[in-house]
Structures are given as C-alpha cells and as structure tokens.
Amino acid sequence: MSTAETPGGSRPTVIQLSIKEKAALYAAYIPLFAEGGIFVPSAREYRLGQDVYVLLTLPDEAQRYPVAGKVAWITPAGAAHARSQGIGVRFPADEKSKQLKARIEAILGTHLASDRSTQTI
C-alpha cells in the first residue's frame, strides 16, 4: 500500500492511496460505515470531520476512484495492538461511493466475513 499526500490551504487535502493486494484492501476497508470507508496510513495531523480527497487505486486495477470523504476517526502513533497510524475516511453518501463500495465488496468477496484483524475499528 502506498500513499502520497498533498497539503492544501483551505482546500481538502489530496491523498493518493494505491492498494496492491486483496489482503491490504481487507485490512483497510471499513464496512461498518453505511457508505463505506477506507483506512489511510498517515503521520500527518488531521481533525475529525476534516474534508479529504482520496484518489484510490484498487488491486489489479488501473482506474483511480476519486472520493471526497471526511475524516471519521484517527489512529494516533503508538496505538494499541500495533495498529498503523492514520485516519479512517468515510465515503460520502452519493452514487459514486455506492458503486465504489460495491466494487470493493466484490473484490473482497468472502473475505468480508473473516475475523482477521484489520487496521480499522
């Protein structure tokens, strides 16, 4: 998984997140959010509710999915259970996000029912 962040003044921060493997997607996907969401590893400071713009690339796909999301939780450095520092980004309640959530869940398939630990809540 690789990320690149572009700081912005009052505009949302742009984050490029490329997830290369299904296991990494499983660890980052947040099915608990009704709209879906994704964990983004980052050492940057964020605020809850902050607007972020994620350009998400899924395993074995060249397409980048744009997500205008919001920071829904923050995992600080040194978090319990060796969780990576970063943020949980909630997808917006729009048609593109519904399609992205469906695409992620199709890629993960039966992995969604797994009880393996993830980077998410």
DSSP string covering 14-69:
EEEEE--SHHHHHHHB-TTSTT-EEEEE--S---TT-EEEEEEE-TT---EEEEEE
Q: How confident is the model at residue 116 (pLDDT cuts 50, 70, 90)?
A: low
Select from 21, 17, 23, 20 the least CA-distant residue to 37.
17
Q: What residue ranges define each of the domains in the chain, with the CATH number in brackets? A: 13-108 (2.40.10.220)
Q: How confident is the model at residue 80 (pLDDT cuts 50, 70, 90)?
A: confident
Given this model, what pLDDT does residue 114 score? Answer: 55
The answer to whether 34 touches 96, Cβ cutoff 8 Å, is no
This prediction has a pTM of: 0.82
The answer to whether 56 touches 38, Cβ cutoff 8 Å, is yes
Of 59-63, 70-74, 79-83, 91-95, where does mean pLDDT reach its minimum?
79-83
